[in-house]
Structures are given as structure tokens and as C-alpha cells.
Amino acid sequence: MALFLCLAGTAGPVAVVAQAQTQPQASQTFATGSLTIRTASGKTYPFSIEIAVTDPQREQGLMFRKEMADDHGMIFDFGEPRRVQMWMENTILPLDMLFIQGDGTVSHIRENAVPYSRDIIDSHGEVKYVLEINGGRAKALGLKAGDKVIGKLLGNGN
């Protein structure tokens, strides 16, 4: 679900996660791990995640997936903070996208991104990670900007 471009004329590099594909391409393999989302009220929610760190992995993302467990997701690691733009081309599942700063703070949430849409979904500032979970989960769990994502990948947990 990604093609990365650095766009000239912006305040800095912009990672654009977008690539049109009509059929599944060779499947990427993803490392797996876990993380926890801790709300401002102290509630914690563990997730099993797949980790997208390379361009081919970020390009594929969750494209063509037909189902995902409620406690699963995929985290996109951009390596350094930057403005990120994504879209839902060839993505079957509605998704919530949590835009996460380098310290694990959720800076913005885009709820229920529309499957197959080419509309750009912007991070509204620099982020280092994007966590995609099933659409509607952020609202169901009461997740908000300011919550923390904790995990080994983010360097702030086990």
C-alpha cells in the first residue's frame, strides 16, 4: 500500500504511501512483534503486529487482506520523523490509522479509512510510525491523540 516519494516544494520530506495495483504482487514477508496502546486514562490494549520497514513491505502493507483479528495490526516504520501521506488503493479492509511520533505518542488518528479510496490521508505533521488497525477499533477502545504506543520496536518497551 505504499510508494515513497520525497516531494519537492514541501517543508520537508513527505513519505507518500500510495501505489495503484490491480492484482496482488509477490507477497512480502513481515517480521512480527507486539505492542501496547496505553490511553490517557491508563487502560492498556495489547496488539500483535506485523512490521513494515522496507519500501517493498510498505508498498504492500495490508493490500488485498480480507480479514484481520481485532487485536492485530501493521506498523509502518519510516526510520525518521517525516510528514506521511497514505491511501487505501487495493485495501479491502476499512482501517484506522494511528500516526505516531518517535516517542510513541499518538499525534493523529484517521478513523475508518474507506477501502479502495485514492483519497490522501495525511499525518498532519511529522511522525515516525503509522499503526493500522481494523476500522472502528480506535473508537471502540476510546483511543485519542496523546495516547502512547509502547513496544520494543519503538524503543520504549519490552
With respect to residue 72, please indicate whether it lies within any of the assigned structural domains. Answer: yes
* Strand bridging mode 106-113 / 121-134: unpaired
* Strand bridging mode 121-134 / 72-86: antiparallel
User: Residue 78 is part of which domain span?
Assistant: 14-20+28-150
Instruction: Determine contact, residues 129/76, Cβ cutoff 8 Å.
Output: yes
CATH of the domain at 103: 2.60.120.1140
User: Which residues, other chains included, contact 81 with Cβ-Cβ below 8 Å and sequence gap of 6+?
Assistant: 101, 102, 126, 127, 128
pLDDT of residue 24: 52
With respect to residue 9, please indicate whether it lies within any of the assigned structural domains. Answer: no
Residue-level pLDDT, tens digit, the chain, 158 residues = 433 443 333 444 445 454 444 555 558 899 999 999 999 999 999 999 999 999 899 989 999 999 999 999 999 999 999 999 998 989 999 999 999 999 999 999 999 999 999 999 999 999 999 999 999 999 999 999 999 999 999 999 87
* Opening angle at CA 69, ends 109 and 106, nearest 5: 20
With respect to residue 84, please indicate whether it lies within any of the assigned structural domains. Answer: yes
With respect to residue 6, please indicate whether it lies within any of the assigned structural domains. Answer: no
Predicted TM-score (pTM) of this structure: 0.85
With respect to residue 140, please indicate whether it lies within any of the assigned structural domains. Answer: yes
**Beta strand spans in 1-158 (E):** 14-17, 31-38, 44-52, 72-86, 95-100, 106-113, 121-134, 148-150
With respect to residue 156, please indicate whether it lies within any of the assigned structural domains. Answer: no
* Strand bridging mode 121-134 / 44-52: unpaired
What is the number of structural domains in the chain?
A: 1
With respect to residue 135, please indicate whether it lies within any of the assigned structural domains. Answer: yes
